[in-house]
Amino acid sequence: MTTFPDGFLWGAATASHQVEGGNVNNHYWQWEHEEHSPFAEKSGDAVDHYHRWREDLDLLAGVGANAYRFSLEWSRIEPEEGEISRAALDHYRRMIDGCRDRGLAPVVTLCHFSTPRWFHNDSSWLGPKSGDRFARFTEVTTPILGDAAYVVTLNEPNLAAALPVLGAMAARGEAVKGLPKPDQALTDAFLAAHRRSLEVLRGAGSPPVGLALVGQEWIAEDGGEERMAEHRAAFEDQFLDAAADGDFVGMQVYSCARIGPDGPVAPKPELVTQAHMEYRPQALGASVRRVREVLPDLPILITENGIATADDAQRIAYTEGALRGLAAAIADGADVRGYLHWSLLDNFEWFSGYAPTFGLVAVDRTTFVRTPKPSLVWLGGVARRNGFPG
């Protein structure tokens, strides 16, 4: 039997804009509706998690999970600058209470990519007021966070800082072979906002606080060692340095980064998943091992790991492979506190729309009927046993 540490968290994750529906006041909704939008489709009602969260939590808790990660929608809480919706705050407080009532540890993310329109349209994160604005939003939310198990300030700032670079590459007609180095000005702005938020949360006596970062297995190909180290330092190491000030680091690992002497190397087509990532379950263990090397004393929480596939048997195989690698890393000394699968529900996957299916639960987007997949039951069994045979 492969077992995990006592008190290990098992669950799944979502993000507000991807599941709630009707987030008309955030910048992604605005972007989706612009002429020549890069989105494959609009988010619309998403999967109506805003109204059906109780049913969704029941599904997760019912199979034996003990944790749920979700995000606050800033644009609902502060639809105009300085205008706070008490109803929205109460909604998220009820979700935290609902998790606790079902034996689910709430892992709450303050900002999972989406921001209010007023924030985005006034220079967004690069504006001189961005740090103050995010600190104020953090302060507004602290009264409802006391019963959270963990608080994440920002989701994947290393990916968010790379998006403008990806956009510029696409505009030039360049082929995207992997994630590029992030924009440094945006990186600096994100990390400054994180530090401001961390300061507010610590001052309020918050539960453990951390960043959630994209992690990868780094692979140097054909003499690409030097280029890989340079790329890794920009995309990962400077963010890990910032995460060291927190109480934990959330790692979100799906695949690997292959780097050659000329930069990122595209995976072989037969290995690519629905989300255009290489199928590589062993990346999770490899990423955790490296984080332990860089930050040996900082606890790790796997805040996302999963695969976009229509084949649920493949999802189970991928997840088991990832968890075996994670268990081996823990056995070798990595301090990992939990595993949250991406995602609980098939949902809106940003530019790709609803085509990539990451969920443990399928959703009919006309009726919103939820249909648990075998992978949900399988992961619930792992959670109940706190491990798996072999």
Q: Which residues are catalytic?
A: 156
CA–CA distance, 275 with 273 (Å, rounded to integer): 5
Closest alpha carbon to 14 in 358, 388, 368, 287 = 358
CA–CA distance, 369 with 198 (Å, rounded to integer): 39
Instruction: Measure Cα distances from 275 to 42, 255, 262, 310 in Å.
Output: 17, 11, 24, 11
Residue pointed to by tokens 């072979």: 177
Instruction: Measure Cα distances from 110 to 90, 258, 288, 386 in Å.
Output: 15, 31, 24, 29
- Cross-strand bridge partners of residue 264: 259
Closest alpha carbon to 305 in 293, 288, 291 = 288
Strands (E), 83-224: 105-111, 150-155, 209-220
Closest alpha carbon to 5 in 304, 264, 333 = 333
Task: Collapse the DSSP code of 220 into the 3-class scheme (helix H, G, I; strand E, B; otherwise coil) and give the result.
Answer: strand
Pull the structure tokens for residue 135: 């600190």
- Residues whose CB falls within 8 Å of the CB of residue 44, separated by 6 or more in sequence, listed in order: 21, 22
**Backbone phi, psi, residue 100, to 5°:** -60, -40
Residue 277 and residue 330 in contact, taking contact as beta carbons nearer than 8 Å: no
